[in-house]
Amino acid sequence: MLVACWSVKGGSGTTVVAAATGLLLAASGHDVLVVDLAGDIPAALGIPQPGGPGVADWLAAGRDVEGDALARLEVEAGPHLAVVPAGRHLPDEPARAEQLAEALAADGRVSVVDCGSAPTNTSMAVASAAGLSLLVLRPCYLALRRALQAPADPSAVVLVGEPQRSLGKSDVEDVLGLEVRAAVPWRPAIATAVDAGLLGRRLPSPLERALRGLVETVAA
Ligand SMILES: Nc1ncnc2c1ncn2[C@@H]1O[C@H](COP(=O)(O)OP(=O)(O)OP(=O)(O)O)[C@@H](O)[C@H]1O
Ligand SMILES: [Mg+2]
């Protein structure tokens, strides 16, 4: 199973949703690989930033890399959880990104890819090939406008924001014609856990509650 998390506007909570989804799946006993196309996953999980090559280098290297080259990039991030770090500059290689999606889909584990918030041909090729492509969206008019022109078709939306915002779940579903699969509240406790590098140790309960249903369907 390949899950892609992406957004059309910076700072939407994409990395937090991707990291938390990976952590929840791992905590429920699934073997999980989190692939970082955007660069913040190690910091969000509270693990040291790997200095060496990463998925960007695998993409840039082309087909000639050895079969286990992707596996050799993995770093352990906890029980049942491994990360493929971002590496250097993400190349514009959509055909190679499709090969990445194929390799991840063929892996026995669940893969969660942080595709970032600045869509590129490469990241959108992965999102388009994912079994579950999640658009992470703040419930704001400007984000919604951009989502209407998104460069890939998501399978569903994860809404991240204050419940009192004038744009609610049903407005977003009506405008985009997509299901809101999870609504993550915007809470200081979540930001504090990320800032302290503690997300990987103990997921804040509002985040866990919000993503539990989504994670159960992925794991089923
Ligand atoms: N649900 C939330 N409640 C409170 N703060 C949050 C929440 N989700 C994310 N944040 C905070 O907002 C900031 C941006 O989150 P995050 O890095 O996940 O967004 P992003 O969409 O991945 O951003 P980028 O465009 O940099 O990739 C972080 O400081 C994070 O701690
Ligand atoms: Mg991010």
What are the structural domains of the chain? Answer: 2-219 (3.40.50.300)
> Which atom in ligand 1 lies closest to the alpha carbon of residue 193?
31
- What digits encode the pLDDT tens for the residues 99-120? 999 999 999 999 999 999 999 9
Closest residue by Cα to atom 8, ligand 1, is 13
Helix axes 141-148, 169-176, angle to 10 degrees: 20
pTM above 0.85, yes or no: yes
Among 16, 34, 162, say which to mutate for ligand 1: greatest number of ligand atoms within 8 Å of CB: 16
What are the phi and psi torsion angles at 84 (to 5°)? -100, 110
What does the mean pLDDT of the chain come to? Answer: 95
Q: How far does the centroid of ligand 2 lie from the alpha carbon of residue 13, in Å?
A: 7
**Which of 133, 77, 80, 86 shows the shortest CA–CA distance to 105?**
133
Ligand 1 proximal residues by C-beta, below 6 Å: 7, 10-16, 38, 40, 116-117, 160, 184, 186-187, 190-191, 194
CA 11–ligand 2 middle distance (angstroms): 7
Q: What angle do CA 173, 128, 206 make, to 5 degrees?
A: 50
* pLDDT tens track for 129-185: 999 999 999 999 999 999 999 999 999 999 999 877 778 899 999 999 999 999 999
Task: Considering every ligand atom shown, identify the ligand nearest to the alpha carbon of residue 159 and give its number.
Answer: 1
H helix intervals, the chain: 14-27, 41-45, 55-61, 69-72, 94-106, 121-129, 141-148, 169-176, 188-195, 205-219
Three-state DSSP at 134 gives: strand
- What is the C-alpha separation between 146 and 123, in angstroms, rounded? 17
Q: How close is the Cα of 174 to the center of ligand 2, in Å?
A: 26
Q: Which ligand is nearest to the CA of 199?
A: 1
Residues 2-34 pLDDT 10s: 999 999 999 999 999 999 999 999 999 999 999
Q: Nearest bound ligand to CA 118? A: 1
Residue 220, pLDDT score: 84
**177 Cα–ligand 2 center, Å:** 25
Residue 65: predicted pLDDT: 84
Segment 25-53 mean pLDDT = 96
Go through the chain and tell me how many residues it has: 220
